[in-house]
Amino acid sequence: MNFALTEEQKMVKETAARLADEMLKPQAAQFDASHAHPAEACAALGELGFMGIAVPEQYGGAGLDYVSYVVGLSEISRGDASVGVIMSVNNSLYCYPVMTFGTEEQKRAFLTPVASGQKIGCFGLTEAGAGSDPGAMRTTAVLDGDEWVLNGEKKFITNGNVASYGVIAAVTDKAAGSKGISCFIVDFENTKGFSVGRVEEKMGICASGTSELVFEDARIPKANILGTPGSGLKQMLTTLDSGRIGIGSQALGIGRAVLEESLEYASTREQFGKPIATFQAIQWKLADMAAALDAAELLLLRAAWMEDQHMHFEKQAAMAKMFASDAAMAAAIEGVQILGGYGYCREYPMERHMRDAKITQIYEGTNEIMRLVIARNLLKGK
């Protein structure tokens, strides 16, 4: 069993770490406070090929593997979790379904500009009444001649306020229930009847826009459907499996940032005449943090390796996302505790890490749903 990264994967990790330390960390607090979209950082990711890591070079991507995706995304998220989730959604929730289910024409038109970082993509599944239950979706798409007419609203869409393209799920056959859902590629910049609705004010990942997408008799070409009508639910579930590796990697990066800052603070902060890192109570917190984050990384690398091998990885992706996000949140809570009063103040980044970590337990499948996915896989054939 070989746990070593290839030379190419090491290069991705080192490049991402350098960008995180030199560009992202110094600006993260400013982006968090202003809620400004980190356009310059996203452009830098695009130049490095990080906005389409696993997309073939012929479609504007870097042509790398999903293990590279995990090590790169976790480093970027260590620098700034908001930039990390922008990168994650662009790769996992937009590029993945277009690359996997799109036609050659769709890939050239709608994948290349996003994978190359020239444009940003998003994924429209969640609605006010349809989150964990996609079968309750109300957005509809009706074929009218050579066009699909979309009506409905999507909610909590990461990148929605800055995206040029989106993969949007809609009901095309109400009578078929969840088997009547289809996915479409929508060109937001050239679709009448589309608009960006409310942009949410959030607890964390504040530099990452989260918005409503509104479709009012929005007409898109008939050719913009992904695959065949009715295949949307299967496409979405497969896409989310890949996306959960991305969110787990984001969580791992947040946890790594927490551990780094906890170690630095504990080594310099003195009480009773000695650094608090010499106290067993603090050492145990650091040890638990480090062990949980290493375990999370191994789960993520296993899931990514299985995806690279084209194996069924639903259970492994759910395990990795669930464990990594729980580990990040636990680390952040202890990180704040280690810093004490300073951990609760915005003078230090620790409180931002705690705010950023929480969402990783919620989006792209709550951790309660992750446990159901894992159990469902365990009980198959029983």
Closest CA to 138 of 167, 179, 181: 181
In Å, how far from its chain's centre is CA 106? 23
Quickly tell me which residue has 């968090």 as its tokens.
32
Q: Rounded to the nearest 5°, which phi and psi values hold at 124?
A: -105, 95
Residue 2 to residues 12, 45, 295, 301, 311, Cα–Cα distance (Å): 18, 29, 16, 12, 18
Catalytic residue chosen out of the listed positions 75, 261, 297, 364 = 364
The contacts of residue 289 (CB under 8 Å, 6+ apart) are 255, 258, 259, 262, 330, 331, 334, 335
Q: Cβ(246)–Cβ(88) under 8 Å?
A: yes
Q: DSSP readout, 104-133?
A: HHHIIIIIHHHHTTSS-EEEE--BTTBSS-
Q: Cβ(357)–Cβ(325) under 8 Å?
A: yes
In Å, how far from its chain's centre is CA 81? 10
Compute the distance between CA of residue 224 and CA of residue 52 in angstroms, rounded to an integer.
21
Which pair of structure tokens corresponds to residue 308?
A: 């690279």
Which pair of structure tokens corresponds to residue 92?
A: 């996992």
Closest CA to 373 of 194, 252, 246, 237: 237
State the DSSP code for 197. E
Catalytic site residue 47?
no
DSSP H or E stretch at residue 195: strand 194-199
Annotated active-site positions, please? Answer: 364
